[in-house]
Structure 1
Amino acid sequence: MIRRLSQGSSVLGSALYRGRLFDTTGLVAYWPLEDAEGSTSMAPALAHGPMTIIGAPRLASFEGFAASNPLPILNGAETRGSVPAYTDTGSTQVRFLMAAPAAGAEDGQVVAMFYTTGSVRRWEVHYGTGGTLGLRGFDSFNTQLFTSGGVAFAVNGELLMVSVELTQNGANIDWNLLTLEPGAASGLSFSGTLAANTVGRAGTIAISPGGGITDVAIGHLSLQNTITTLFELGAQLEAWAGRRPAGASNGSAGRKGSPSGHWAM
């Protein structure tokens, strides 16, 4: 009888998918990017539009994250989506999973990019030889307003959640670029302040704009209008390894360290 009743039951989804949808406070847009081979777009998990695919990514081909169903390897493709209208809180957080091969990726390529209504119209997370990541911003005239440079996050061969955090602080923007490995008790961060600029609301977001990245896997792209610690998803990120369900919690807020510093629970 139990077998008969369970037939046709829907799959609950991956650990990280369930974790992101458990509490959607501040969650504006979310694309799991767990779409099956043959999909023609990347379906959203919320009530907004899908991401378009430009090129031919190898969908559902990377299985390295225990917390996720198989993810796409970019294979020179670009994905692009529109963020629905939302309340401007002065805070923007963009997160995604990233797995770069041990041999590295293409130097200087943009991993993730998003446009906003603020004075910094375009934000880019870029990759550099040796496994660096960096953050830079441009105005509406395509003039670069700032760059963090390539920061030694040592992403090559690692499984990571990457986070970009932007907070309006008076007339300035406090920015932070962070990474966290599944199961790690601390992460890495690089932060700073951009004076006399505004954050605004995000409108369009893209992975590998221009399609210049080949063997990197990306997944679980989300955008929030609140800044939350990555440790709120720490248990889900390691697929509840060695944990009881009752142990799930939002965790403690991450403490921002100095540039290239550690932040911990």
Structure 2
Amino acid sequence: MVATIDSATGGTNTVAVSSSSGSLTATARQQQTSSRSAEKSEPPKFRPFLPNDPGYITVEPDGRDDVSFRDRLRQAIEAVASAFASGEGVTAIVDRVFGEISKTLDEAEAKGEEVAVQLRIASLDVSVADGAGGSTFASIRQFALEVGVARNGKVAAEDTRVLATDGSSLGLSQQQIRTGLTSGNYARVDTGSSDGKLSDAARERLAAARSGLERVKAVQDALAAFRLGNEVPLRDLFDGKGSGSSEKSGSLGQVFPGIGALSFR
């Protein structure tokens, strides 16, 4: 291709441009744009540690001897756990959270790294699908406790734990944690495994749901019997002998907490 350019002096300059090189340049630009788009869509492996971020409860070593860093960390976890439990339940949550992050803290301190911990209440969207790639037929949103160990000015996904409100692990993968690392909104899809069986997390929820349904059915059956003049099933529920299946389902106070102060006469 030949281009003609009129100069300021009235002359004419002729410049030859290779059409193939122009094509290569356009292709290179397209590849660079695609590469940048892919980088933008990839979730971050870490987020910067900002001590004054109002979205977190931040605990840092301050060099004091009267209250150690880990003591203050326990107090911070207790403050968050108190929103979901009380008494010994709070202590159990704190112990579970420490169990999840203690290894990371030990490694960072052993290497002499600057360390801090940030906590916040996050959310987890759980979708239940009918097999891999199948349509979602149920979903639930729940609170989660995010605990990130900051090392040398950043909080990596591998140093972040996303836990249930009782302090137990939610079983999120590193990719799932990276996806919600900056927003605090996490997501997981539960499906059956390749052999048609449910995942462990889905199986636990299904078992809990079935157990609850069995207890409710036991109450309904006992009330129906009571209306017909048979008070034994209802009395057994109050006495802790009621059973909706082959296993004991517990007392009526366990079915409906708070009713245990009543007595059956």
Pairwise same-fold verdict (TM > 0.5): no
Q: TM-score range by the shorter chain?
A: under 0.3
Pair member with larger Rg: 2
Query: Relative contact order (alpha carbons < 8 A, sep ≥ 6): 1 or 2 greater?
Result: 1
- Give TM-score scaled by structure 1 length: 0.24
Could you say which structure has the higher helix fraction?
Answer: 2
